[in-house]
Amino acid sequence: MPLFGTDGVRGLANGPLTADLALTLAQATAVVLGQGRSAEARKAAGKRLTAVVARDPRISGEFLSAAVSAGLAASGVDVLDAGVLPTPAAAFLVGDRDADFGVMVSASHNPAPDNGIKIFARGGVKLPDIVEQRIEHAMAGPKLLPTGPDVGRIRRFADAEDRYVVHLLGSLPHRLDGIHVVLDCANGAASGVSPETFRDAGARVTVIGADPDGVNINDGVGSTHLASLAEHVVRIGADVGIAHDGDADRCLAVDADGNIVDGDQIMAIIAVAMKERGHLTDDTLVATVMSNLGLHKAMEAHGIRVEQTAVGDRYVLERMNEGGFALGGEQSGHVIMSEYATTGDGLLTGLHLLSEMARQKKSLAELASIMTVYPQILVNVKGVDRARVGDEGVQEAVAQATAELGVSGRVLLRPSGTEPLVRVMVEAADQEIADGIAHRLADVVRQRIAL
């Protein structure tokens, strides 16, 4: 089974993800990413390889980031230890400091016992599959470790947070004065930097989920648990709520009445604003196949084209890089603004969303009304052969359902990449219609391609 998943290496800390694995992975990363023209040019100029290392506040991050730093330093790489910071901050700092690569120790929205290791190449970009494969292969290879003065040094990156905050504030088209926001930091990596940044941008800030103790990350708070944020916003009469996940690469929101505003709605608001400013490259938004039909219709109404990718922010980013597009993301709240970031950035997204509220002097509910969210149902059909999703009978049923829905809905069958199941997604103008068609299709899938 491959070591790297869709977003780095992830698993139970001290289960499959041990300090030994972290150290070996770091050494292999130094070997692979220490090669190439830029690295050789640096060496020729007498400069040492440099890496930025950061983590979220879960307890296992302490020993895993120490192991990563040890592996890098033992391989002759100087380490800039940025401490607890969001994943997008780590990615930004790699480019800002002209480092050769970076490592983020985080399991994002997963519970505290899990952890992960994400690696960024030069410029703060995610690694392509082929490079991950080379690193995994290098883990089993020989380690030519330097001695004496050639070993790496580990230094505290003292102004890492300040650099990131200045970068975020410099991206804003409009200050947030007059907006009262509740920030839910998921007891995660944004707990220190997010409240500071929103206050510096002019907002009045109330904070929840910003008391990390190493074991409470994502525990009933953050972008995967929005009930507490909605309750706080309504109870204190705030204008808006912003929720991050554990490593703050996501942003979801709630309006003044506690209604959820998801990633699709956030992208719609930002896309139209960017088009008005002339910043939306080719008037194009990149989104996954799971984005709501309402997003497509709203963008069409505003003269914006939507390019679709497979599910996963890495696929969104790949298409954005290929086409030079400026905005993309997922319904889950991963929003990528390539003018300012190389990955999803929950703080950047939240700041720009509130900036539009302030600029237009409109509530979030008014802005979100740009898009009608179509009722959507997702049914997981288990115990089926996902490789046979192209079965003739299944496809006939899909075609029939698609014709039945017409332009007012859509059908998507998506085989799982890891389990014997097929996901049946149906959108329609009416929830009852969506439910009926989805369960009818699920029955066909179950009958036709059962294991």
What digits encode the pLDDT tens for the residues 112-162? 999 999 999 999 999 999 999 999 999 998 888 999 999 999 999 999 999
* Residue 390 and residue 353 share a domain: no
Residues 334 and 331: their CA atoms lie apart, in Å, by 7
**How many domains would you assign to the chain?**
3
Residue 311 is predicted with a pLDDT of 86
Domain co-membership, 107 together with 206: no
Residue 2 located in a structural domain? no
Do 304 and 318 belong to one domain? yes
Pick from 381, 382, 354: which is nearest to 368 by CA?
Answer: 354
CA-based nearest residue to 54, from 42, 72, 40: 72
Residues 272 and 149 both lie in one domain: no
Asked if residue 4 is part of any domain, the answer here is no
**151, 221: one domain:** no
Tell me whether residue 264 is annotated as binding: no
15 burial class (0-12, 13-18, 19+ CB within 10 angstroms)? Answer: exposed
Domain finish residue from 368, 384, 414: 368
Q: Count Cβ neighbours within 10 Å for each residue of 100-111 and write b for 16 or more, e otherwise.
A: bbbbbbbbbbbe
* Helix or strand run (H / E) with residue 379: strand 376-382
Q: Could you list the active site residues?
A: 108
What pLDDT sits at residue 46? 73
318 within some domain: yes
Which uninterrupted H or E stretch holds 298? helix 293-301
Residue 438 host element (H or E): helix 431-448
User: How buried is residue 157: exposed, middle or buried, by Cβ count under 10 Å (0-12/13-18/19+)?
Assistant: buried
- pLDDT score at 137: 96
In a domain, 1, yes or no: no
State the pTM of this model.
0.92
User: pLDDT below 50 — which residues of the chain?
Assistant: none
391 is in an annotated binding site: no
Asked if 154 and 167 sit in the same domain, the reply is no
Q: What's residue 44's pLDDT?
A: 67
N- to C-terminal Cα distance for the chain? 22
**Is residue 24 located within the same domain as residue 49?**
yes
Residues 323, 304 within the same domain: yes
Sign of CA dihedral 193, 199, 202, 205: positive
CATH number for the domain that contains residue 67 = 3.40.120.10
Does the annotation list 262 as a binding residue? Answer: no
Same domain, yes or no: 267 and 358: yes
pLDDT at residue number 7? 83
CA 330 to chain CA centroid, nearest Å: 8
- Final residue in a domain of this structure, among 325, 346, 368: 368
Give the domain CATH number at 406: 3.30.310.50
CA 196 to chain centre: 21
152 and 167 share a domain? Answer: no
- The answer on whether 249 is annotated among ligand-binding residues is yes
Please tell me whether residues 151 and 202 are part of one structural domain.
no
**Predicted pLDDT at 124:** 96
Residues 201 and 331 in one domain: yes
Q: Look up the domain containing 92 and give its range.
A: 9-158
Cβ within 8 Å of residue 307, ≥6 positions away:
284, 285, 286, 287, 319, 323, 325, 328
Last residue of a domain, one of 333, 368, 403: 368
Q: Residue 379's Cα: distance from chain center in Å?
A: 24
